[in-house]
Amino acid sequence: MMMRVLLICVASCLLVVNGEDIINRCTLAKLLYEEDLDGYEGYTLPDWLCLAFVESNFNISKVNENVDGSFDYGIFQINSHYWCKDYHSHSENFCHLDCQELLDPHLLPSIQCAKKIVSMSGGMRNWAEWKLHCSGRPLSYWLTGCRLS
C-alpha cells in the first residue's frame, strides 16, 4: 500500500514538472484522418504528422516566443502575428480566434486554422521546419502501426 501511494506521488510530481500535453502519434493520425486532412490540399496524413512532430514534438500546449515578439502556439506552432490574437502583439488574426484556443486538447481550432494556412499560397511551405525536415522525403513510416478506423 505504501509503495502504491509513493508511486502515485512520484507520477503526480512528474506530470507537474513536465507540464506538457503530448499526444500519441497514432491518436493524432486518427484524429487528423477523421477531420479529413488526408489529401487536403494535396498533403497526406504523414505530411501532417511530420509537421506536428517537427514543430512541437506532438506537444499540444507548446508556446514559443519568437525574436520579433510574436508567439507560436500549439501542436502546429501557429504564429500570433498572422493567424490568431494573443493580446501581446499586433495580429492580422486570419483564423479569427484567440491564440489560447490553439492549445485546446481537442485540437479542432488548431486543425481548422492549419487548414486555412495550408489552403493559402505556399501550403505547408509556410512552416520552415516542414520544408527542412519533411518536404520531398518519404514519410509513410509516420503511420506505421496506426489503425485509422
Instruction: Check if 72 is active-site.
Output: yes
Give the H or E element holding residue 5: helix 2-18
Pick the catalytic residue from 41, 47, 72, 129: 72
Residue 55 annotated in active site? yes
In the set 34, 35, 38, 55, the catalytic residue is 55
The half-sphere exposure of 138 on its side-chain side, counting CA atoms within 13 A, is 3
* Residues annotated catalytic, as ranges: 55, 72
